Structure 1
Amino acid sequence: MGNQKFGAGIWHFATYVDRYATDGYGPPRTLIEMIDLAGQVDDLSVVDINFPFADPALSLDAIDKALDRNGLSVIGITPEIYTRRFAKGAFTNPDAGIRRLANEMCNEAADVVRHFGAKYVKLWPGQDGWDYPFQVDHGSLWKASMDGVGELAEQNPDLQFVIEYKPREPRVHMSFDSVSRTLLGIEKIGLPNVGILLDFGHSLYGGESPADAAQLAIDHGRLFGMDVNDNFRSWDDDLIAGSVHPIELFEFFYTLRKNNWEGVWQLDQFPFREDSVAAANAAIDFLKGVERALDKLDFEAMREAQLRHDAVTALGLARQALFSSF
């Protein structure tokens, strides 16, 4: 225990707007200010950074210096292929010029990944999908979704491309909406450097069991990364990890440990009204408790209980390990 790396999307340390507080929940922050805030979080060591940078004049050298003074490294780069110019889609846009723009932005993000020695380009094509019956030809839309990802993976065989699926928002139906559909797409693409970044909250929101979703992705060799947060299942609330579904979160991490999956435990939280450093510390404190609980858990007894489908015994083992770890 104690060697686990913790990370966060740099947006955790931004300030936010919504359709009510259009003036925002705080003054805007620069990327450098966000990195400095991330550096104040205990045991946070890696960040995922959006691209393009909000300040086009910001140099990679300035970001390097901010990361260095905060003891942080970069795990991935997330190209913003979901903003207004991509309102009708990125990879699925009916305008070939916009599709090309999405490809170019992701290739630029790939170069930034190489600069930082990061692990992956994270693809969240939030505008790829549809809203109304008869709006799209579903066969053409799905093919465009796969072709867009596949083209990038072919152009950059030295890097990983991870797809973060989500059932809806901003589109009513997103193209990559579930673990099963995303795995089908990845297998059809057929390239080894395309995988899934499994967001715990998106899985909950989509009616999945995150532990089951993780097992499916692992069984196909496609679980390349993960994010944790929490929600009430009716929306992607991006709450502090463990605040609503601690047992399901523990089962998710049990599944990762059981399969010897190793990677960064990364936060994807949006603390609209909370102090961002305090919210990150609260989540990491909970995740450390999960790590202690995994060390305590009797895996053989759990295996035997599960062979019998003995829910009472299995839940008892899980609860004892988890709730005695704080």
Structure 2
Amino acid sequence: MHTHDEPIYGAGIWHFATYVDRYATDGYGEPRTVLDAIKLAGAVGELSVVDLNWPFPPGGISTAEVKDALAEQNLRAIAVTPEFYTGKFMKGGFTNPDPALRRDAIELVAAAAEVGRELGIDYVKLWPGQDGYDYPFQADYSDLWDKSVDAVRELAQAFPDLKFAIEYKPREPRNRMVFSSVARTLLAIEDMGVDNVGILLDFGHSLYGGETPAEAAKMAISRGRLFAIDVNDNFRGWDDDMVVGSVHLLETFEFFFALRDAGWQGVWQLDQFPFREDSVEAARAGIRTMRAFHHALNYLDRDELAAAQSAQDALAAQRVAKRALYRALAESESA
């Protein structure tokens, strides 16, 4: 049995927000501020870091207030996520046809980076949700690509002391997004020609984008570009952001195996949206499953797995993986 130290667990602070959709426009619960969400994150008891939206919801909350709230809950900000995907940027942030709005998007991210410096973050997360298109012939694809690459390069060069992690996603809110896959995002980073831009690999985005998340992780790691991960689950048709391991249990285990196999040692971070579930209990459930994956990796017979993979023996390889995984899950769920 190979033993490793337990990972650090984190979560996007939105895990503890309340949500709306196009049907329940009145929301799934009472509105919460980022300070409320930080208090709930602290109640989980097993989180060490959080990723924070900026500007801090719902607005009018200072960085000093957030720092005090984090300290009170013994949490650290690992990242800030600038919100340049709101209605103002409905036609794009970095790719907006209006140059003034493109500049606003860049300046918003730059302001978030300054806040991140004050908070001592590890990276600025870029999720350009409105950068893309919806219809054939709507846009010049080369123009969208160039504007996206140029904007991120500009920010990376302006903040050489910070890392920028691009969270790619195939679609939503746009029908097609510029940074839509691991391969496209790696190509874009190559075009940027900077060292401080990488990828945040969201397991669910990779799933419903038709990728194998473990393979996608290996691709990013092999190029030194996997800066962070977010973990959740879905039914592969939409970004459901369900509790980790709810549906694709074996593929999630393979994802974490790929990370450890490559020597990747970052934070294991939740990006779950518990619309109807208790947010604290959902976080605990996700962490419990991730901890089971951690123990299962220690139980895994590496030599037997290597022999099965060398022969490309699918049944033997799955038997080895399932034996370790089910043992760890049984222990986790009976504790």
TM-score category by the smaller chain?
Answer: over 0.9
Runs of 4+ in 1 over 6 A off after TM superposition: none
Aligned residue among 191, 214, 219 for 1:216: 219
Structure 1 Cα separation of the partners of residues 271 and 178 of structure 2? 21
How far residue 6 of structure 1 moved from its aligned partner, in angstroms, is 0.3
The residue type paired with residue 212 of structure 2 is S
How far residue 56 of structure 1 moved from its aligned partner, in angstroms, is 3.4
Aligned residue among 293, 299, 302 for 2:302: 299
Query: 2:319 corresponds to which residue?
Result: 316
CA offset digits 1:176-225 (Å, max 9, x no partner): 00000001101111111000000000000100000000010011110000
**Structure 1 residue 44 corresponds to structure 2 residue 47:** yes
Query: 1:282 corresponds to which residue?
Result: 285
Query: 2:240 corresponds to which residue?
Result: 237
Structure 2 Cα separation of the partners of residues 206 and 254 of structure 1? 20
- Structure 2: stretches of 5+ with no match in the other structure: 330-335
Query: 1:264 corresponds to which residue?
Result: 267
How far residue 298 of structure 1 moved from its aligned partner, in angstroms, is 1.4
CA offset digits 1:53-74 (Å, max 9, x no partner): 1243312121111111111001
Structure 2 Cα separation of the partners of residues 113 and 304 of structure 1? 46
CA offset digits 1:32-54 (Å, max 9, x no partner): 10000000113111000000112
Pair 1:23–1:56, CA change in 2 (3 A): closer
Query: 2:196 corresponds to which residue?
Result: 193
Aligned residue among 19, 25, 28 for 1:25: 28
Spell out the pairing of 1:102-251 with structure 2 (5 A cutoff): 102-251=105-254
The residue type paired with residue 132 of structure 1 is Y
Structure 2 Cα separation of the partners of residues 171 and 206 of structure 1? 14
- Structure 1 residue matching 2:328: 3-state secondary structure: coil
CA offset digits 1:75-98 (Å, max 9, x no partner): 100000100000000000001101
Structure 1 Cα separation of the partners of residues 223 and 65 of structure 2? 39
Structure 2 Cα separation of the partners of residues 2 and 239 of structure 1? 26
Structure 1 Cα separation of the partners of residues 200 and 78 of structure 2? 12
Structure 2 Cα separation of the partners of residues 74 and 298 of structure 1? 36
- Structure 2 residue matching 1:94: 3-state secondary structure: coil
Structure 2 Cα separation of the partners of residues 259 and 132 of structure 1? 39
How far residue 301 of structure 1 moved from its aligned partner, in angstroms, is 1.8
Structure 1 Cα separation of the partners of residues 195 and 110 of structure 2? 18
Structure 2 Cα separation of the partners of residues 172 and 57 of structure 1? 33
Query: 2:82 corresponds to which residue?
Result: 79
| Larger deviation, residues 105-114 vs 47-56 | 47-56
Structure 1 Cα separation of the partners of residues 302 and 269 of structure 2? 24
Aligned residue among 46, 53, 56 for 1:53: 56
Contact 2:52 2:81 in 1 (8 A): yes
Structure 1 Cα separation of the partners of residues 47 and 5 of structure 2? 13
CA offset digits 1:255-274 (Å, max 9, x no partner): 00001100100000100000
Structure 1 Cα separation of the partners of residues 84 and 17 of structure 2? 18
The residue type paired with residue 247 of structure 1 is L
Percent identical: 59
**Structure 1 residue 12 corresponds to structure 2 residue 23:** no
Structure 1 Cα separation of the partners of residues 268 and 177 of structure 2? 25
Paired residues in the alignment total 326
**Structure 1 residue 35 corresponds to structure 2 residue 11:** no
TM-score (norm 2): 0.96
- Structure 2 residue matching 1:324: 3-state secondary structure: helix
CA RMSD of aligned residues (A): 0.8
Aligned residue among 63, 67, 72 for 2:66: 63
- Structure 1: stretches of 5+ with no match in the other structure: none
Structure 2 Cα separation of the partners of residues 270 and 97 of structure 1? 33
Contact 2:6 2:294 in 1 (8 A): no
- Structure 2 residue matching 1:134: 3-state secondary structure: coil
- Structure 1 residue matching 2:78: 3-state secondary structure: strand
- Structure 1 residue matching 2:95: 3-state secondary structure: coil
How far residue 303 of structure 1 moved from its aligned partner, in angstroms, is 1.6
